[in-house]
């Protein structure tokens, strides 16, 4: 059993202000794997005070010192990569190989991108007779999710450190132990006292206290749209900056020019990766109506071929979903899809027959879905794909954009056609023909998928204030 009974505040591991703990459940067994201390408003107060004290000096450190700090962090992240991957696999259920290579490995990538972006970022320049200065925004509260935990921690912490901000991190209480290892890495790398602080806890207590705290200058939140609204409301009275990456219901438009066997199979794999627990997952596959049967058959074969099993088994493609609450939500939505008349072509309700414990979901594909059905509207956050037919390209665009979300979109087909269509889709990222992930591309969404952008130079922008010194002369 693992225990995380202290918080990292002002460069020290300290006892919580109140004695309250939470069991962390291994989703592959449904059994406790450890406990964490739950923070309170008093712990938030200590952490914010430490970050405010540290900001006065850290915000004025030479840029090269901050780059060297980032480089030390990269070295340690790489050295402890497998350790991070192992704990992520246990606490949120990702297959072990994927947890090491992608879940943990992505952390060092974000720090390396921050270093590259720093080298070319214009922190100070003249615009006519006005001097433009990008300065650190201040103390940042970071509230991060369980589905890609190190990704979302690293893509916030790296630009914050690069720009000279100080911070308080509240990771998800569902998958918290990776953040403890991350704090150890920050300490080993020599992050100055108070610059990075970690307080474990739940959203209604620690998250709300951070969002509303007058000593916090910015909240960077990743999670559900519902929780994002609560964060924004808590932050509003103090008029702090609120940066959010929220939910998604991403369309995947297969043009008539697409290689259907390859495009459908790729779409299924991308939708079901991380057991469907990815905010950018292409959960709505749009296909020409006359090819619905073909697309459904290909998707069903692909789904049926996926191996669902324990994260430690090297044959496993999909591990469990993260919790009982998530499992129950997914099951209810699968039942809703059947009840509303969608054609079930793969998977369905219940756990896979060969597994008698764990939050495992059958990879599920619905064909002949309409965009008004619940499974096409709500973010399911599980391995469930909806295939929707369209008759014309104009209809495909209308269906793709007919969602309250706008985080990502995908297009498969002739490159010129895909490029022309991309500019008409209302999404923060549009990926063409299964293009590889780009850690330097801006990440964030339109509409109820949030505001602001992360990754690379775009992340540096988010953590700075812009000052104009008018009438400046360098003579």
Tokens of 108: 């060092």
DSSP state of 403: S
DSSP state of 284: E
**What was the pLDDT predicted at 473?**
74
**How many angstroms separate the CA atoms of 321 and 92, rounded?**
7
CATH number of 2-246+449-469: 3.40.605.10
**Which run of H or E residues covers position 401?**
helix 393-401
Q: Is 119 exposed, middle or buried (0-12, 13-18, 19+ CB in 10 A)?
A: exposed
Distance (Å) of CA 466 to CA 41, 64, 280, 458: 31, 21, 30, 14
Angle at CA of residue 102, ends 163 and 359, nearest 5°: 120
Task: Report the helix count and the strand count for the chain, using DSSP H and E.
Answer: 16, 23
Tokens of 315: 């044959």
Residue carrying structure tokens 């509207």: 377
**What was the pLDDT predicted at 475?**
61
Q: Which residues of 233-267 are buried (b: 16+ CB within 10 A; e: fewer)?
A: ebbeeeebbbbbbbbbbbbbbbbeebebeebbbbb
Return the domain boundaries, the chain. Answer: 2-246+449-469, 251-438
**What was the pLDDT predicted at 474?**
64
Helix (H, G, I), strand (E, B) or coil at 373: coil
List of the chain residues with pLDDT < 70: 474-475
**What was the pLDDT predicted at 368?**
98
Q: In sequence order, what DSSP letters do the residues of 436-461 get, joined into one string?
A: PP-TTS-B--EETTEES-BSHHHHHH
Is residue 279 part of the annotated active site? The answer reads yes
Distance (Å) of CA 379 to CA 80, 278, 331, 403: 33, 10, 13, 10
CA-wise closest residue to 322 among 71, 145, 79: 145
CA-wise closest residue to 321 among 406, 365, 264, 380: 380
Longest dimension (CA), the chain: 77
| 471 neighbors 456 (Cβ within 8 angstroms) | no
Q: What is the pLDDT of residues 96-122, one digit of tens each?
A: 999 999 999 999 999 999 999 999 999
Q: What is the pLDDT of residues 333-384, one digit of tens each?
A: 999 999 999 999 999 999 999 999 999 999 999 999 999 999 999 999 999 9
**What was the pLDDT predicted at 472?**
87
**How many angstroms separate the CA atoms of 306 and 385, rounded?**
14
The catalytic position among 91, 102, 279, 379 is 279
**How many angstroms separate the CA atoms of 233 and 121, rounded?**
32
Considering the segment(s) 251-438 as one domain, its CATH architecture is 3-Layer(aba) Sandwich (3.40)
**How many angstroms separate the CA atoms of 421 and 414, rounded?**
11
DSSP state of 100: I
Strand stretches in 247-305, DSSP E: 251-254, 284-288
The catalytic position among 102, 245, 379, 454 is 245
**How many angstroms separate the CA atoms of 160 and 117, rounded?**
12
**Which run of H or E residues covers position 106?**
helix 105-120
């Amino acid at each position: 059993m693992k225990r995380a009974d202290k918080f990292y505040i002002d460069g020290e591991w300290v006892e919580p202000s109140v004695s309250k703990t939470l069991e962390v459940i291994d989703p592959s067994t449904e059994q406790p794997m450890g406990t964490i201390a739950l923070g309170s408003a008093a712990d938030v107060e200590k952490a914010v005070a430490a970050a405010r004290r540290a900001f006065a000096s850290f915000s004025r450190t030479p840029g090269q010192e901050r780059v060297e700090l980032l480089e030390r962090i990269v070295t340690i992240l790489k050295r402890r990569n497998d350790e991070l991957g192992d704990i992520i696999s246990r606490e949120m259920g990702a297959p072990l190989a994927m947890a090491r290579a992608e879940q943990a490995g992505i952390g060092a990538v974000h720090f390396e991108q921050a270093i590259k972006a720093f080298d070319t970022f214009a922190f100070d320049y003249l615009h006519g007779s006005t001097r433009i200065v990008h300065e650190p925004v201040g103390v940042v509260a970071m509230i991060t999710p369980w589905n890609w935990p190190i990704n979302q921690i690293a893509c916030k912490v790296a630009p914050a450190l690069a720009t000279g901000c100080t911070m308080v991190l509240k990771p998800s209480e569902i998958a918290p132990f990776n953040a403890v290892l991350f704090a150890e890495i920050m300490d080993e790398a020599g992050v100055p006292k108070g610059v990075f602080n970690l307080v474990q806890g739940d959203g209604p207590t620690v998250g709300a206290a951070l969002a509303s705290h007058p000593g916090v200058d910015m909240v960077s939140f990743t999670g559900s749209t519902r929780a994002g609204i609560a964060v924004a409301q808590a932050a509003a009275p103090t008029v702090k900056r609120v940066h959010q990456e929220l939910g998604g219901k991403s369309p995947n438009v297969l043009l008539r020019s697409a290689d259907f066997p390859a495009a459908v199979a790729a779409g299924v794999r991308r939708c079901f990766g991380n057991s469907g627990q990815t905010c950018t997952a292409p959960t709505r596959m749009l296909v020409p109506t006359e090819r619905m049967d073909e697309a459904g058959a290909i998707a069903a074969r692909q789904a049926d071929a996926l191996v669902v099993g324990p994260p430690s088994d090297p044959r496993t493609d999909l591990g469990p979903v993260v919790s009982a609450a998530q499992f129950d939500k997914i099951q209810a939505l699968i039942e809703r899809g059947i009840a509303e008349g969608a054609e079930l072509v793969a998977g369905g309700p219940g756990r896979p027959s060969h597994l008698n414990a764990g939050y495992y979901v059958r990879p599920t594909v619905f064909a002949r879905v309409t965009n008004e059905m619940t499974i096409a509207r709500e973010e399911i956050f599980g391995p469930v794909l909806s295939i929707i037919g369209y008759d014309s390209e104009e209809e495909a665009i209308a269906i793709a954009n007919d969602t309250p979300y706008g985080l990502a979109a995908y297009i498969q087909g002739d490159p010129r056609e895909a490029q022309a269509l991309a500019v008409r889709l209302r999404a923060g990222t549009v990926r063409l023909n299964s293009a590889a992930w780009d850690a330097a591309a801006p990440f964030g969404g339109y509409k109820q998928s949030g505001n602001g952008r992360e990754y690379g130079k775009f992340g540096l922008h988010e953590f700075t204030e812009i000052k104009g010194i008018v009438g400046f002369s360098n003579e």
